[in-house]
Structure 1
Amino acid sequence: MKLLVTENYETLSQITADIVLMKWAESRRVNLALTAGSSPKRAYEILADRLKQVDFDQSLAHFYNFDEITLKDQEYGLTMQALTEELFLPLGIEEENIEVLDSKNYQAYDQKIAADGGLDFVLMGIGSDGHFCGNLPEFTSFDYGVYRVPMAPEDELYKMIDESSPHTPGEEMVTFGPQTVLAAKELVLIANGEKKAGIIKQALEGPITEDVPASVLRLHPNLTVILDRAAASQLS
């Protein structure tokens, strides 16, 4: 594991953007799975600016959403809606370069990834409970590939989505499981802010356990963790 501790969130974002750009600029097909959310937001803004300054065949990059939460009466789920707004539209990603994971195709998605040449790069955040992608402590097994998590109105996950989204949650979430992520060639985990310091310490220095799903990422031979000083403040 390579650990990079940056002075602040802006520097973290610049480094993250440059790492993604270097993967994207390789002169071959590159399969990328990039997270949505607050942590990478500034990195994607920087990446959009970087793309205006470089000249390479952007069509070689293919993008895979690594989880999806279904929404009732919506064409796309929560993750695809967020990625479209935060990444695909600002960066001008063509529809044919977006490899959608959803509740209809998840059972064959590991095979699809393999047929496409495997994942080259996965960029992830970490939740306050230690989850990565959609791998929540109460549902995850380290043996899982892509899998489905059912949702019902009484579930905490359903309630959280219902409170944070203007749309009604559907009946399921699908996600890359630990085995799918660990099969990728390169992983990057980013976190910022003091609120992530406690879980970062557990994930990077505690036992490797399904109670802290992100701890399993330490088993990957090519993992880079990028933190600002606040997120790294509890590491020994």
Structure 2
Amino acid sequence: MDIKIFDSAQELDAFAADLIVSTVQNKPAPVLGLATGSTPLGIYAKIVEMHRRQNISFQHVTSYNLDEYVGLTPDNDQSYAYYMKSHLFAHIDIPSNQTFLPNGMAEDLEAECSRYDSMLQEQPVDLQLLGLGHNGHIGFNEPAEALTGGTHAVKLEQETREANARFFASMDEVPELAITMGVGSILKANHILLVVRGADKADIVKQALTGPITTDVPASLLQTHPRVTVLLDREAGRKLA
């Protein structure tokens, strides 16, 4: 694991964006695994800036998102499809038919999960961007006695719903179900980029990166991957030696 700690959000965002853009520039048909939430916002803004100022093209890029809420249409402003369009896809030249998210409106969720996994097998992810939940989840893979390897529908833990409630008008509007890549799907990426910010994540960062490998902390399974880059702000990394 390559762990880097930054003194400023701007430095962290720039480093992450450079890493992603380097993958885009150095591969003929790069496949990016993308994440949502507050963590990647500065990174996506930097990528958009690099696209505009340096004329970097994303026309040859394919992207797969980690997850999507069940029951939210793509035009719902809290769906991850809407998030990705608003913060990245509408501002770069990536073709819309090369950007993929799980379909949270699918009538048959099991079939949708199988469809998504089949696409991931056909186009393995070169670089997977991840955030880290307070309880150690990656994607929406919540702590459990056993974890599902492939893409699956999951009932969200109350803690996770409460953490995401700030994006909704009320807690009642936060979906209870989501479709997420499984930990096995995530670990198939060639390179994983984990980004974590804030003092409130310091304990779980230490558990995930230096503690025992356990399904009680799903992110700890990243320790088994041969190529993980971890980017932390000073507060998130304060409990690491």
Aligned 8 A contact 1:142 1:216 in 2: no
2:193 paired with 1:192? no
Using the TM superposition, give the Cα deviation of residue 96 of structure 1 relative to its aligned residue in structure 2, in angstroms: 1.2
Q: Which residue of 2 aligns with 1:228?
A: 233
Give unmatched runs, 5+ long, in structure 2: 107-111
- Whole-Å separation in 1 of the counterparts to 2:73 and 2:196: 33
Aligned 8 A contact 1:162 1:169 in 2: yes
- Correspondent of 1:113 among 115, 120, 127: 120
- Whole-Å separation in 2 of the counterparts to 1:111 and 1:141: 22
Aligned 8 A contact 2:196 2:231 in 1: yes
Q: Which residue of 2 aligns with 1:204?
A: 209
C-alpha change, 1:54 and 1:68, in structure 2 (3 Å) is same
Give CA-to-partner distance per residue, 1:114-173, whole Å, 9 cap, x none.
123x111100110111111111114x734521111146xxx6269535664249455631
1:113 maps to amino acid = L
Using the TM superposition, give the Cα deviation of residue 93 of structure 1 relative to its aligned residue in structure 2, in angstroms: 3.3
2:135 paired with 1:129? yes
TM-score (norm: length of structure 2):
0.86
Q: Which residue of 2 aligns with 1:216?
A: 221
C-alpha change, 1:41 and 1:56, in structure 2 (3 Å) is closer
Q: Which residue of 2 aligns with 1:26?
A: 26
TM-score (norm: length of structure 1):
0.88
Aligned 8 A contact 2:143 2:218 in 1: yes
- Whole-Å separation in 2 of the counterparts to 1:83 and 1:73: 13
Q: Which moved more, 1:141-150 or 1:197-206?
A: 141-150
Q: Which residue of 1 aligns with 2:109?
A: none
Aligned 8 A contact 1:137 1:212 in 2: yes
- Whole-Å separation in 2 of the counterparts to 1:191 and 1:66: 16
Q: Which residue of 1 aligns with 2:92?
A: 91
Give CA-to-partner distance per residue, 1:40-97, whole Å, 9 cap, x none.
2111111111112334542111111111112356656722222222221233433112
Aligned 8 A contact 1:141 1:178 in 2: no
Q: How large is the Cα RMSD of the aligned pairs?
A: 2.3
Q: Which moved more, 1:78-87 or 1:67-76?
A: 67-76
Q: Number of residue pairs matched?
A: 231
Give unmatched runs, 5+ long, in structure 1: none
